[in-house]
A and B are shown apart, each in its own frame.
With several copies, the nearest count.
Chain A
Amino acid sequence: MNFAFTEDQDLIQDAARGWLGEFAGPAHARKVMATAEGYDRALWAEAVALGWTGLIVPEDQGGLGLGFVELAILMEEMGRALYPSPFEATVVLAANALMALGTPRYLEAIAGGGITATLAAGNATGKITAAPTEGGFRLDGMLRHVPDGARADLLLVAADLDGRTALFAIEGDVAGLSRTGLATMDQIRRPAELRFDTVHLPAEALIAADAGRGLALALDRAAVVLAAFAVGAAERCLEMTVDYTKERVQFGRPVASFQAVKHQCADMALAVETSRSAAYWAACVADDSGHNGDGTALALAASGAKSWCARSYFDCAAAAIQLHGGVGFTWEYDVHLYFKNARALEAVLGDGTCHRERVARLIGLDDAAEAAQ
């Protein structure tokens, strides 16, 4: 038991913060967010070269073989920078899911940066039905809010196959599949709608015929890592606010000297630090759970961390706007980028209410009552 970063972990954090701070901060986000693609391919190639796409991929598939604590560290820094990239969809969702299902397929390509990918399973709304055909499968249905769904090279799509959840791999475009990017208030994330209208896939597109449990594990781990993203972004909101209010003078005093401002910043600090404790608690549980645990400890930690950290992020972003005063409301200042992203993140992978309801169930509120008090 030692709940502090190792030296290696400190190094990962320092390197990520340095690179992202220099190249991939909000100014970068502004450049790419108005483009149709939504990210910068050249910068992404550099991120690949840093080994990030292989961070959790096993070494024998060309990755670094690190764990979810390390992935959380990296995502925390991406949140701080608000770096728009295929990382979440490709690594946090797709690679994580493939690993949870125990298949090495595509991992080397992902680790090496050859392809981007995404996952369309319980993280999307809507439903796909699969039916066996001669030599393969036919898929029909619609999914919305698939991260990077319009731009990813590889789609991992969950579909109902005879009452079980199967996972299929679709490389690029196929006949009958339409992929439409959604225009969104938050311009960092790039959700899409996927329509499957008689899509025929070959037999080898089937990755796992019974993927339900593996996908549940993967989505919980993804929730943990997204919670870490929220931590970094929330902390950046706090930093911007402290910096701005120290500079800004009103009534002849720095705004930061007013107790009302200080106390709101203190509450933001409390939100950030408790969120950090929550996210890394959950990341440790993710590392300890392996692929075959009973999943309850991870489910509790993931739901706890996701609901807590996403709310903290929203609260911090909202407080940042308030404490910036008028300029916090302008397009020019960066606060709104975090604010919109925070709102989007609250709904991703389940909102707070549904995660808390899940915790309520898992801690036994539906079990029979013990002998009367």
Chain B
Amino acid sequence: MKLSFSADDEAFRAEISGWMADNLTGDFASLKNRGGPGDEHAFFEERRAWERHMGKAGWTGVGWPKAAGGRGAPLSHQVIFYEEYARAGGPGRVGHIGEGLAGPTIVAFGSEDQKRRFLPGILSGDDLWCQGYSEPNAGSDLANVRTRARLVGDRWVIDGQKVWTSLAHVSDWCFVIARTEEGSSGHKGLSYLLVPMKQKGITVRPIQQMTGTSEFNEVFFDGAETAAENIVGKPGEGWKVAMGTLAFERGASTLGQQMAFRNQLDEIIAIAKANGRAKDPVMRQRLAEAWIGLQIMRANALRMLSQAEKPELPREAYVSKLYWATWHRDLGKLAMDVLGPEADVFPGEPGTYELTALQQLFLFTRSDTIYAGTNEIQRNIIAERALGMPREARA
């Protein structure tokens, strides 16, 4: 057990931080620290160009196997890559769903043909992906998926609705969990389909959030089509493949997310020092607690990643979503409390609604404890799967 980095690691750190310093400049300079959660609408086209720029330089797919076109970087390099990217203020990646979820799923479960067709577009930044899991009446529970797909000739024909689909309006492809076996229920009879988004059978409707902006969308499938071969795994294996996707969420990119959290905490601390709240002993306790909590989040992630080879999901992985979501939500409240009466104010006229970054943080983090499994669902999962307690009764 060792937390420090080797000389080779440090050389790699110099490489990526140097590249970021040299490249996040010029036209790209305005992208610094933009485009994260709650800010996904910002500078979209410029960020797409940035994604392509990274792809050209070989900085996409850092953790992917070399055979899949990635760098095949060891864990320590992946950690360093994501941390340095975020430390440098690297913008929110428009390709992150493809790089982090769709790509690894195709690598793990896809056919050779699918790998050839889909992976290069992800790595180059040309193809953007979105995720079609949640439904209005399925919430966090894939077993309740109602979206149906029927094989008609050589095409899957898809009807149904997905919600909370980030980036749907700009994506080229969506991976969709649909029910392909008539009359099936629960985890059975689901399939994992790759569906082109730019077609007339698909309508994307943005959801206006409490922030006033719209990161999330509803996606309506009304006779949407995809080719018969665009299925990952066999028909009926959708649950298995989807569970694999969820496992990829344990990737090293979480360290980048945490570095972004660190940037937010640093901003809050700077404000506290400037407005004098840093002298308030009660506020000092909260700021220190947040700082400690973030260090622990990093340690917890490194523990989890260091055991990624083990077949069983370790307990620190089970608790990580609940932990970071709650920590981050509390950080949003802390930001407001540090700002005091000024927390409510943003530049602009009354009646306009253009929030500051910290107000976005405060409001947007309320979704952290809801999407991708609410805190309640996460506690169920921890109790049932990590602790072996009896499963919740399902009607």
Contact = CB atoms under 8 A, between A and B. Distances in A.
CB–CB under 8 A between A and B in the complex? yes
Interface of A: 1-6, 9, 33-36, 38, 69, 125, 144-145, 150, 181-187, 189-191, 238, 242, 245-246, 249-254, 256-263, 265-267, 269-270, 272-274, 276-278, 280-281, 283-285, 287-288, 300-301, 303-304, 307-308, 318, 321-322, 325-326, 328-332, 336, 339-340, 343-344, 347-348, 351, 353, 356-357, 359-360, 363-370, 372-373
Contact of B374 (A245, A280, A325, A353): A325
A119 to B, nearest CB: 16
B359 interface: yes
A269 B382 contact: yes
A222 B37 CA distance: 39
9 closest cross-chain pairs (CB), A and B? A252-B395, A262-B383, A336-B210, A281-B299, A266-B379, A360-B284, A369-B273, A266-B382, A359-B288
B303 A365 contact: no
Contacts of B134: 326
B327 to A, nearest CB: 10
Contacts, number: 303
A144 B305 CA distance: 44
B387 to A, nearest CB: 5
Interface centre among B141, B375, B376, B384 (most CB of A within 10 A): B376
Nearest to A358: B288
A269 B287 contact: no
A257 B316 contact: no
Contacts of A270: 319, 322-323, 382
B2 interface: yes
Contacts of A303: 292
The size bracket of the interface on B is 35 or more
Contacts of A322: 366, 369-370, 374-375
In terms of DSSP, what is the predominant structure of the interface of chain B?
helix
Given A38-B350, A125-B341, A1 B6 contact: yes
A356 B3 contact: no
Given A269-B387, A270-B319, A322-B375, 16 more contacts: A1-B6, A3-B302, A3-B305, A36-B351, A263-B380, A266-B319, A269-B318, A278-B296, A281-B296, A288-B4, A329-B209, A353-B280, A357-B285, A364-B273, A365-B279, A369-B274
Interface string B275-312: 00011111111011101110110111011011100000
Nearest to A362: B288
A357 B281 contact: yes
B270 A1 contact: no
B78 to A, nearest CB: 10
